[in-house]
Amino acid sequence: MSGTIEDFLALLAAERGAAANTLAAYRRDLTAAEELLGDLSQADGEALSSLGKAWAHLAPSSVSRKSSALRQFYGFLAEEGIRSDDPSPALPRPAARRPLPKILSHDQVDALFLRVEEEAASSKPVSVRLLALLELLYGSGLRATELVSLPLSAVPRDAPFLTVTGKGDQARMVPVSERAVQALSRWLEVREGEGRFLFPSRGKHISRVRLFQMLKELAVRANIPPEKVSPHVLRHAFATHLLEGGADLRVLQTLLGHADISTTQIYTHVDAARLVTLVNERHPLANASLARRPKGD
């Protein structure tokens, strides 16, 4: 990998506070492009346009992500005076529609909780831990990385809030339901292992991959297709179900830790009939009759 890519990644980390996962994704995309084109700092527009053919088998969203990484890279080269031109307009620009997030129905969420609560009744540490994890995923909308890396000190004591470090090392406060507080208390009673993490494993914390596996296995036991369940799907369910309940979009943005509200707006894919019902029932004029208009109007 060329030194210019390393310099670009260093800038993302130092000045933009990019998270480790974000840096890893940029590194993969830029390294893969360099394997196709050679030194990216020397590539011209014709070379970049050839990537469209090389990426033809990829989903539009993947092409958009790769192109975005390269556009930012060439912007960096121009700002640093390494290049006097910007060849990035030649990159593929697929007209990708952002897919609606997968969500679980209320019945499916209930089935997951019913199953995990039955298992946690045994007080086995693995079952109680899974209950606590599920409560925080669905009850607080945490990202997988945010959840598995929670420090032990994050457990609420006086106030029902968690301090979570999200993308870009941005901290935010998220509420914790009474159910989740009870689940966490049960987990702390049977928690095994030492260290600073709330969910320890092998001297560190459980991995995102292991969290993903545990949820898939729970879905099977709850008679739900495992492909429908993941940490991010539960985060989507948290957001969608809150919105259905009347939550404000700005509040939802804060809870989810979105830097841009346009990211939160994806959750406005709620049922149109529900929106009509909401207007008819909640609007100030919903129960007011139209004033009689004067004759001749």
Determine which one of 66, 115, 129, 143 is catalytic. Answer: 143
What's the token pair of residue 156? 């609420």
How far apart CA 182 and CA 281 sit, in angstroms, is 35
Q: Rounded to an integer, what distance in angstroms lies between the CA atom of residue 258 and that of residue 172? A: 10
DSSP state string for 221-279: HTTS-GGG--HHHHHHHHHHHHHHTT--HHHHHHHHT-SSHHHHGGGG---HHHHHHHH
Instruction: Tell me which of 71, 167, 204, 228 is the catalytic residue.
Output: 167
Q: Is 26 a catalytic residue?
A: no
258 flagged as catalytic: yes
DSSP state of 97: P
Task: Please indicate whether residue 235 is annotated as part of the active site.
Answer: yes
**CB burial of residue 95 (10 Å; 0-12, 13-18, 19+):** exposed
Burial code (b: 16+ CB inside 10 Å, e: under 16) for 6-27 equals: eebbeebbeeeebbeebeeebb
Give the active site residue among 66, 115, 205, 235.
Answer: 235
Write out the catalytic residue numbers. 143, 167, 232, 235, 258, 267
